[in-house]
Amino acid sequence: MSSNDHGLHPTTQATDSLVRRLAGPSTNKAGLAKDQTEINRIIAEASKGSKFYENEKRKDKDLTERIERIIKYRDEVIKGVDLHQVEQGVDKLIAQLEAQRDLSQVIVHVDMDAFFASVELLDNPDLASKPFGVGGGVMSTASYEARKYGVRSGMPTFIAKKLCPDLIVLKSHYDRYSEMSNKVMAVCRRYDPNMSVVGCDEGYLNITSYCEEHGMTPDECVQDMRQKIHEETALTASAGIAPNKMLAKICSDRNKPNGQFKLDFEARAIKAFMRDLSIRKVPGVGRVNERLLESIGIKTCGDIYAQRGILSLMDKQFGLMFLLQSYLGIASNVVEPWQREEKKSIGAERTFNTLSDTAKIHAKLEEVAAELSKDMTEGQWTGKTITLKYKLNTFQVCTRAKSLDKWLSGRAEELFTLGKELLKPELPLTLRLIGLRVTKLKDLKAEAESKARGIKRFFNAAPPSPSKKRRIERTEHDEQEELPLSQDGFATSMPGYEDEIEAEHIAEEDVIEGDDIRSHRPPGSLKSKPKSSSAVPDNHAGPFGSARPPNSDRGSKRKPSSSASVSAATHKPSGAEDVIDSPEALLECPICSKMLEMDNQGLNEHIDFCLSKQAIKEAQASSLKPDSGSSQHGTKPLRRGLKPQSRGKSKDKVGGHGEGLLRFRKQD
């Protein structure tokens, strides 16, 4: 709102980043062709002037400013630092991650080719080789022919038609997709009954035992599976074969459509594979994080290594561990079916033509309340927190939440009333969307079943989801037996490690109350945090939020802000140098809170060990849960300012880009 709009010069040219942003999130998916720049130009042109466009412009500006702050901060934080020494610290971390790489499991990611479009093609062969898409206002899927024109999922239909005037737009047939999806998954389950289904057209399998039992190579097995899928559904699938989920997913894209790609199960080959891979291909790195990383010179996973020093110093902004794992191609290899107890929220929302009239808005709210009520009832869920969501006609999104001291009844009327209460202080509004979501869920079905069995011990407690504890325990257990990583190879040789295992068990018990088992649980949280003046991982206020000017913590304490800045801890043991410098002092590990009697170097080694052990556990095990977890390959996401988030993979309903708008419920 500064210099423009005065008409002196025509609308300012859309910046590069804005044009790319407008092109949509799935720009780098498969099947594009032609000149992407030209396509982007057409999209930007078609969008120009719309409310949507203005909102994207605003977000782009915000991001640009955020990047400027990050760069400024980087330039500050780097002053007076021996980057080489920092890098050496990171290198030790890398070596420890590498040492724990697990190549023993054969993981497959299966991905149906243009699923909705392919199903439509089955039912209408005349569409063959024609550009067509499935969807209503926005495209759910485009045929490969249409993709050549730049048509993508998530793209509004009117723009798709500008790109491809001959585009045929079909309505969706959800029941049909669901039916075919079930057939496909049934085939896949023969190869791994424990497979993890993602959405309606994807899944992860662990075919290690299948290959063994049938004397097949992974390639043969997957070839066979894809052929069976084709025989039984006349649909084609692509697949990736690799030692973990992240790699398998990336590989499934490699020879799409109707192809498969197997990565060599060797660290060398994997690292070579990652080196030139665009960071954007890493699940969890979206458009925003791509730009943030690009701003510090990271475009490929190989660049992560080159920038490891900076990344260590800016762990808070970028999440060092996540990126190192991406660089190494290390991720979770745990494949499990989704379970009800993982569900954390249930909601409904609806977009409509802009409304300002409160009565009409209430009518929309009542509709979503009814929808949500239905889903809660049928799914047998209740919850304690209700969140109203609305989107202004400017596309800005707001949420308003309220936590109750009782469980919701789930009745439509109740949800509607609560929604109106949350909405009231906001009025008047001009909206294009309204929605309701319930969190802090309780699984009424599990409760009923348990009670029926006379097992009611934990369901009597309210909010803390009872299932969590069990999962944690099982998680730990699985980890011990199936991941060679937790073995004590280097444990015994590590100072101060003796009772580490025990300490962790205590931690698990204590943590059941924790709100997120997946969250980075600093071992320090076991008990009381170390309050000693020493190297407590203090959050040095980031560049944002104003808190503290970056330089203010320069001279004295540049401490590791988290797991990442190991390096810093190593070469510059944080604040209390006076203490640490005295050999033989009794020191408290900032990570595990253990009191250690050792010298400076000993402490540093212990800290390194502590951090890496924790990091490694998270890297390979934490995601331990099927995949809803942090990032789908299960590693700790880029934390803080920059972090990919997990993906929800609820199966009750699936939506989204890809084969997205599908709303199907999974039987059984």
The distance of closest approach from Cβ of residue 354 to DNA in the complex, given in angstroms and rounded to an integer, is 7
141, 115 Cβ separation under 8 angstroms: yes
427 binds DNA (CB under 7 A): no
Closest CA to 312 of 597, 22, 93: 93
The one among 433, 598, 603, 615 contacting DNA by CB under 7 A: 433
626 binds DNA (CB under 7 A): no
Q: Which is nearer to DNA, 374 or 527 (CB)?
A: 374
Residue 292 structure tokens = 């943030």
Q: Look up 202 and say whether it is catalytic.
A: yes
Q: Which is nearer to DNA, 567 or 630 (CB)?
A: 630
The distance of closest approach from Cβ of residue 63 to DNA in the complex, given in angstroms and rounded to an integer, is 6
The one among 8, 546, 667, 668 contacting DNA by CB under 7 A: 546
Q: Which is nearer to DNA, 92 or 520 (CB)?
A: 520
Residues 434-473 within binding reach of DNA (CB under 7 A): 435, 437, 440, 463
Neighbours of 384 (CB within 10 A): 18
Pairing of strands 260-262, 381-392: unpaired
Q: Which is nearer to DNA, 563 or 570 (CB)?
A: 563
245 binds DNA (CB under 7 A): no
345 binds DNA (CB under 7 A): yes
Tell me the C-alpha to C-alpha distance, in Å, between residue 621 and each of 105, 480, 635. Answer: 13, 9, 8
624 binds DNA (CB under 7 A): no
Q: Which is nearer to DNA, 23 or 607 (CB)?
A: 23
The distance of closest approach from Cβ of residue 359 to DNA in the complex, given in angstroms and rounded to an integer, is 20
632 binds DNA (CB under 7 A): yes
Q: Which is nearer to DNA, 227 or 396 (CB)?
A: 396
Q: How far is Cα 548 from Cα 524, in angstroms, rounded to an integer?
A: 25
Three-state DSSP state, 586: strand
657 binds DNA (CB under 7 A): yes
Q: Which stretch binds DNA (CB under 7 A): 295-303, 536-544, 598-606, 609-617?
A: 536-544
337 binds DNA (CB under 7 A): no
**Token pair 């309220």: residue:** 402
309 binds DNA (CB under 7 A): no
Three-state DSSP state, 340: helix
Neighbours of 77 (CB within 10 A): 20
Contacts of 549 (CB under 8 A, 6+ apart): none
655 binds DNA (CB under 7 A): yes
**Token pair 């990171």: residue:** 90
Contacts of 186 (CB under 8 A, 6+ apart): none
The one among 442, 587, 661, 664 contacting DNA by CB under 7 A: 661
Residues 551-610 within binding reach of DNA (CB under 7 A): none
Return the bridge partners of 597, or none. Answer: 586
The one among 30, 36, 41, 53 contacting DNA by CB under 7 A: 53
656 binds DNA (CB under 7 A): yes
Tell me the C-alpha to C-alpha distance, in Å, between residue 449 and each of 444, 455, 632. Answer: 9, 9, 30
- HSE-CB at 660 with a 13 A cutoff on CA atoms is 17
Residues 186-225 within binding reach of DNA (CB under 7 A): 198-202
Q: Which is nearer to DNA, 273 or 664 (CB)?
A: 664
416, 438 Cβ separation under 8 angstroms: no
SS percent in the chain: helix, strand, coil, step 5: 45, 15, 40
Q: Which stretch binds DNA (CB under 7 A): 95-103, 178-186, 583-591, 654-662?
A: 654-662
150 binds DNA (CB under 7 A): no
The distance of closest approach from Cβ of residue 197 to DNA in the complex, given in angstroms and rounded to an integer, is 10
Q: How far is Cα 226 from Cα 235, in angstroms, rounded to an integer?
A: 9
Instruction: Produce one character per residue of 484-515: b if its CB has 16 or more CB atoms within 10 Å, e if not.
Output: ebbeeeeeeebbbbeebeebbeebbeebbebe
Q: Which stretch binds DNA (CB under 7 A): 329-337, 446-454, 468-476, 517-525?
A: 517-525
The distance of closest approach from Cβ of residue 639 to DNA in the complex, given in angstroms and rounded to an integer, is 3
The distance of closest approach from Cβ of residue 425 to DNA in the complex, given in angstroms and rounded to an integer, is 9
- Site size for DNA (CB under 7 A): 104
641 binds DNA (CB under 7 A): yes
Q: How far is Cα 235 from Cα 113, in angstroms, rounded to an integer?
A: 8
628 binds DNA (CB under 7 A): yes
640 binds DNA (CB under 7 A): yes
94, 78 Cβ separation under 8 angstroms: no
Q: Which is nearer to DNA, 169 or 267 (CB)?
A: 169
138 binds DNA (CB under 7 A): yes
Residues 158-177 within binding reach of DNA (CB under 7 A): 158-159
| Cis amide bond preceding 590, omega within 30 | no
* Given the residues 56, 87, 202, 659, the one annotated as active site: 202
Q: Where in the sequence numbering do the catalytic residues fall? A: 202
